[in-house]
Amino acid sequence: MEFYRAHILICAGAGCISSNCLSVKSELEKQLKDQGLDKEIMVVKTGCIGTCDIGPVMIVYPEGVFYCNVQPEDVKEIVEEHILKGRPVKRLMYTVPTTKKVVEKVDEIDFLKGQTRIALRNCGVINPDRIEEYIARNGYAALGKVLTQMKPKEVIEEIKKSGLRGRGGGGFPTGLKWEFAAKSQSPQKYVVCNADEGDPGAFMDRSILEGDPHSIIEAMAIAGYAIGASQGYVYVRAEYPLAVERLGNAIEKAREFGFLGKNIFGSGFDFDLEIRVGAGAFVCGEETALMHSIEGRRGEPRPRPPFPAQKGLWGKPTLLNNVETYANIPPIILNGADWFTQYGTENSKGTKVFAVAGDINNTGLVEVPMGTTLREIIYDICGGIPEGKKFKAAQTGGPSGGCIPEEHLDIPIDYDSLKEIGSMMGSGGLIVMNEDNCMVDVARFFLEFTVDESCGKCTPCRVGTRRMLEILERITKGEGKEGDIELLERLAKNIKATALCGLGQTAPNPVLSTLRFFRDEYEAHIKDKICPAGICKNLLKFKINAEKCKGCGICAKICPVNAISKGEDGKYIIDNEKCIACGACAKKCPFDAIGKGA
């Protein structure tokens, strides 16, 4: 085997690809060749490292030097200085936004150091297109162990003991689900992986498929053995072409090496996998709709029971799990349930991956033990809120979840504690919002999403969520009426109780939780006709501070609707009847005399 003295890892996850990492990679390969280093230095393409907002990112081993925001024109300097002369390039290293400290090594970066990576163990470490690298990191050893040393019952027992719960949103105990599917009697059963990932902002499933596709293949084969299935399907949305490509490559390689196919590990067990590409409707992530879609039918939910474990794909018992759920399986088998249960809380074991976005210094993927507090994620790992702004709330669970206000920053995050405060774990989207967000508008935004995505099959969801949205729109326009809050609450209760599937049943959550923690904001909109955060345009009132105004007249010239005029004292005033709240005057006033708000 060739001996390379250094490996340069370049992230080729979808995030970095969109920031042009591929031209950085080809420039790097060219420069190395020009310098005659291409036999000494190996360039490795990896999946998402998790720090997508500072991509393209690069790690140089053996030193572990981490470079971010690398552009093609930076490559020459890296090769000539670092690779040739051993002088790492400070200029391209990561700078902590708050302290301005330059961090040299990848394992010294708070964002990565603070994580515990089980599901993401290989993401950003291996080349997903090289099965050997997966094998080097214990890949397929769990499948080998299961097929040669364990009975299906023992596998299920181990998963049950691990306390693993579904990472796709519901949090259902995985071992129990496997047991149900195993107990269903049928000559034909199926294993399905849900990679629909509809929660806007979440991208952990995509990153795992792109960065470590073999972990899913291995886990599904283990599941097949445990429940007695020989065929599996991975349902991926069409918006994830790279995930489809890498998974497709991986499946081929796995067949070639005999991890899929007939008589795996000489055990007599057969298993194979196919990818099904979905059109990417949110409701297709719901398990019954997803199975309809795989069967080639309309992706509409149906009532449960029967549950998929009894009657699933083509009427046969089907085990359906989320990508991240599967990614946890091989390490549990290899290291044992006791190892897994050392992470997490009483009823939520292991880790959870969050896709952190919004008003926060470091966005990206973060995997932490269950029970980590929101404060730790936001401030210790993700570097806090930019520009010294104040934290207002975080939304977990996307459009099905709820918001967590400042007073709950210190609750340990797990399935149960989130439920208690009216939110939910969901698939792991975590949107951080600062003081400039209007919570009524946030609720309106999420509800708008679910109204768009409702499949229309049942009335409470199709009509009910639309009514709720109309009320919210009214409130944000300043046309809210006495009694609107109560009406929202009543509608929400009815929809939750009567909608057919999870989409409708959880759609009111963002409204209910913002009402619970920010009711005064709703009241301010309705009663006082003001938006305290200054977001809802119709409720914005621009005002000139007479003490600061120097009478220069710039604002009056700029106003597109001539709402500003000179008063008798030489100071300018805004006619709020005419003002359309465009904000142009406030931006232009040289003396900062114009403000918005109540």
Partner 1 sequence: MKSLNELNELKKKAQEYMNLREGKEIARVTVAMGTCGIAAGAREVLTAVMDEIKKRNLQQITVTQTSCPGRCSEEPIVIVEMDGQKVMYGKMDAEKARKMVVQHLVNKTICSEWVI
Ligand X SMILES: Cc1cc2nc3c(=O)[nH]c(=O)nc-3n(C[C@H](O)[C@H](O)[C@H](O)COP(=O)(O)O)c2cc1C
Q: Which residues bind ligand FES (CB under 6 A)?
A: 11, 13-16, 48-52, 55, 57, 458-460, 498
Closest CA to 50 of 134, 108, 115, 6: 115
Which residue in the set 357, 503, 564, 586 belongs to the binding site for ligand X (CB under 6 A)?
A: 503
Tokens 């001539």 sit on residue: 562
Which residue in the set 336, 456, 567, 570 belongs to the binding site for ligand SF4 (CB under 6 A)?
A: 456
Identity of the amino acid at 61: Y
Q: Which stretch binds ligand SF4 (CB under 6 A): 181-189, 212-220, 247-255, 500-508?
A: 500-508
301 binds ligand SF4 (CB under 6 A): yes
For ligand SF4, which is the closer residue by CB, 33 or 550? 550
How far apart are alpha carbons 271 and 102 in whole angstroms? Answer: 49
Helices (H), 499-553: 502-506, 509-526
- The contact set with partner 1 (CB under 8 A) reads 1-7, 9, 40, 42, 61-64, 83-87, 125-126, 132-133, 135-138, 140-141, 144-145, 148, 257-259, 264-266
Instruction: Name the DSSP class of 193.
Output: E
175 binds ligand X (CB under 6 A): no
Q: Which stretch binds ligand SF4 (CB under 6 A): 146-154, 326-334, 519-527, 576-584?
A: 576-584
For 209, phi and psi rounded to 5 degrees? -65, -40
For 79, phi and psi rounded to 5 degrees? -65, -50
**Under a CB-based contact definition with an 8 Å cutoff, are residues 122 and 215 in contact?**
yes
135-169: burial string, b at 16+ Cβ within 10 Å, e else: eeeebbebbbbbbeebebeebbbbbbbbbbbbbbb
Partner from ligand SF4, ligand X, ligand FES, none binding residue 158, C-beta < 5-8 Å depending on class:
none
For partner 1, which is the closer residue by CB, 139 or 428? 139
For partner 1, which is the closer residue by CB, 58 or 182? 58
For ligand SF4, which is the closer residue by CB, 466 or 516? 466
Partner from ligand X, ligand FES, ligand SF4, none binding residue 572, C-beta < 5-8 Å depending on class:
ligand SF4
Partner from ligand FES, partner 1, ligand X, none binding residue 362, C-beta < 5-8 Å depending on class:
none
Q: CB 53 → partner 1: shortest distance, Å?
A: 24
Residues 517-556, mask of contacts with ligand SF4 (x by CB under 6 A): -------------------------x-x----xxxxxxx-
Give SS3 for 285: helix
How far apart are alpha carbons 148 and 71 in whole angstroms? Answer: 49
Partner from partner 1, ligand SF4, ligand X, none binding residue 170, C-beta < 5-8 Å depending on class:
ligand X
Closest CA to 469 of 482, 484, 455, 483: 484
For ligand X, which is the closer residue by CB, 139 or 285? 285
How far apart are alpha carbons 260 and 219 in whole angstroms? Answer: 12
Strand positions, DSSP E, 458-578:
541-544, 564-566, 572-574
170 binds ligand X (CB under 6 A): yes
Q: Please list, in sequence order, all residues whose beta carbon lies within 8 angstroms of the beta carbon of residue 487, skipping any fewer than 6 positions away.
A: 471
DSSP per-residue string spanning 351-398: EEEEEEEES-SS-EEEEEETT-BHHIIIIIIS---GGGPPEEEEEESG
Q: Please list, in sequence order, all residues whose beta carbon lies within 8 angstroms of the beta carbon of residue 359, skipping any fewer than 6 positions away.
A: 385, 386, 389, 432, 433, 434, 436, 437
Of residues 348-367, which lie at the interface with ligand SF4 (CB under 6 A)?
none
For ligand FES, which is the closer residue by CB, 309 or 355? 355
For 51, phi and psi rounded to 5 degrees? -105, 50
| E strand or H helix at 206 | helix 204-211
Neighbours of 55 (CB within 10 A): 25
Which residue is nearest to ligand FES, using beta carbons?
13
How far apart are alpha carbons 141 and 320 in whole angstroms? Answer: 23
CA 408 to chain centre: 21
Partner from partner 1, ligand SF4, ligand X, none binding residue 285, C-beta < 5-8 Å depending on class:
ligand X
485 binds ligand SF4 (CB under 6 A): no
Residues 424-463, mask of contacts with ligand X (x by CB under 6 A): ---x------------------------------------
How far apart are alpha carbons 251 and 238 in whole angstroms? Answer: 18
Partner from ligand SF4, ligand X, partner 1, none binding residue 504, C-beta < 5-8 Å depending on class:
ligand SF4
How far apart are alpha carbons 374 and 537 in whole angstroms? Answer: 31
For ligand SF4, which is the closer residue by CB, 346 or 436? 436
Name residue 349's beta-bridge partners. Answer: 344
Q: CB 199 → ligand X: shortest distance, Å?
A: 6
Q: CB 46 → ligand FES: shortest distance, Å?
A: 8
496 binds ligand SF4 (CB under 6 A): no
**Under a CB-based contact definition with an 8 Å cutoff, are residues 492 and 468 in contact?**
yes
Closest CA to 80 of 32, 45, 48, 118: 32
Give SS3 for 4: coil
Q: CB 267 → ligand SF4: shortest distance, Å?
A: 41
**Under a CB-based contact definition with an 8 Å cutoff, are residues 190 and 420 in contact?**
no
Closest CA to 360 of 418, 437, 426, 417: 437
579 binds ligand SF4 (CB under 6 A): yes
For ligand FES, which is the closer residue by CB, 51 or 361? 51
Of residues 191-210, which lie at the interface with ligand X (CB under 6 A)?
194, 196-198
Q: CB 256 → partner 1: shortest distance, Å?
A: 10
Rounded to a whole number, what is the distance in angstroms from the first to the last CA of the chain?
A: 71
Instruction: Name the DSSP class of 398.
Output: G
Of residues 128-167, which lie at the interface with ligand X (CB under 6 A)?
166-167
Q: CB 46 → partner 1: shortest distance, Å?
A: 10
* Residues found near ligand X in the complex (CB under 6 A): 166-170, 172, 194, 196-198, 282-283, 285-287, 320-322, 325, 427, 501-503
* Residues found near ligand SF4 in the complex (CB under 6 A): 283, 301, 454-458, 461-462, 499-501, 503-504, 542, 544, 549-555, 558-559, 561, 563-564, 572, 574, 579-585, 589, 591, 593-594
